[in-house]
Every structure is written in structure tokens, then in C-alpha cells.
């Protein structure tokens, strides 16, 4: 079945540590996105990528980094510069087309130890 796989489901970060969240899709979608969700707030865009080897910052990119070396994969690294990383992280993808919706993974809950 086609879909988006995020791993791990739960992740814990120590002070000063970088952690990487995985996102893999087998939908052959061009565009991929990372969103952060905090309680009581909507989804906020961290980074997005339209094609391989290209990505753009979203509204809250500081303290995060991404790569897009393969069409299927768009990993997100939460660096030590992100001082408040505790949140639910959602990866999404979509195909070209005006009405094309976002497909989402099941999310990763990141907490700070």
C-alpha cells in the first residue's frame, strides 16, 4: 500500500543533542513537507521540498535542517539550536495539480529529557 512512513513514533532528545526524524513516501510525490504541531495551535511549516536536492524554509525553520537526496526521503534534523523542540512533527507529501491534497504520515512525538 502506498503511503508515508514516519519513524520513530516517539523520540527523546537530550540537551545539546541533534536528532533526526525519518520520513519516507512511496507515492511518487514530488513535493514533501515538514510541519510542527504544538497543543492548541495549528500546523506550522518548517521546511518543504519540491524536487530532489532542493528545499525551502518555511515559517519556523530556525534550529532545523533537512535534506532531499532521494525523491522518496525527506529527513528532518532537530539541532541543538532549537531550544524548544518538544512537539508533534508531521511529514506530508503531495503531487502536482491544483486540487492535490496533502498526504500525511502518522507523526513523531519529540520530547526533551
Partner 1 sequence: AQKITQTQPGMFVQEKEAVTLDCTYDTSDPSYGLFWYKQPSSGEMIFLIYQGSYDQQNATEGRYSLNFQKARKSANLVISASQLGDSAMYFCAMREGWNTGNQFYFGTGTSLTVIP
For 6, the grid coordinates are 514516519
Non-local (6+) Cβ contacts of 15 within 8 A are: 80, 112, 113
Q: Which of 11, 13, 27, 45 binds partner 1 (CB under 8 A)?
A: 45
- For β-strands 19-25 and 76-78, DSSP reports them as antiparallel
**Secondary structure class of 11 (helix, strand, coil):** strand
41 interacts with partner 1 by CB under 8 A: yes
| Cis amide prior to 8 (ω within 30 degrees) | yes
Question: Shortest gap between Cβ of 23 and partner 1 (angstroms)?
Answer: 13
State how far Cα 63 lies from the chain centre.
13
Kindly state whether residue 11 participates in binding partner 1, applying the rule CB under 8 A.
Answer: no
Residue 111 touching partner 1 (CB under 8 A): no
CB-nearer residue toward partner 1: 16 or 97: 97
Q: Per CB under 8 A, which region of 11-19, 37-45, 63-71, 76-84 contacts partner 1?
A: 37-45
Interface positions with partner 1 (CB under 8 A): 30-31, 33, 35, 40-45, 48, 50, 56, 58, 88, 90, 92, 94-107, 109
Amino acid at each position: 500500500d502506498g503511503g508515508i512512513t514516519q519513524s520513530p513514533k516517539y523520540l527523546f532528545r537530550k540537551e545539546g543533542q541533534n536528532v533526526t526524524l525519518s520520513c519516507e513516501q512511496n507515492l511518487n510525490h514530488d513535493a514533501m513537507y515538514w510541519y510542527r504541531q504544538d497543543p492548541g495551535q495549528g500546523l506550522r511549516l518548517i521546511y518543504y521540498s519540491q524536487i530532489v536536492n532542493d528545499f525551502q524554509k518555511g515559517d519556523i525553520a530556525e534550529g532545523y535542517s533537512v535534506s532531499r537526496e532521494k525523491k522518496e526521503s525527506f529527513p528532518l534534523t532537530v539541532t541543538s539550536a532549537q531550544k524548544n523542540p518538544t512537539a508533534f512533527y508531521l511529514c506530508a507529501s503531495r503531487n502536482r495539480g491544483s486540487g492535490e491534497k496533502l498526504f500525511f504520515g502518522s507523526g513523531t512525538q519529540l520530547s526533551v529529557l
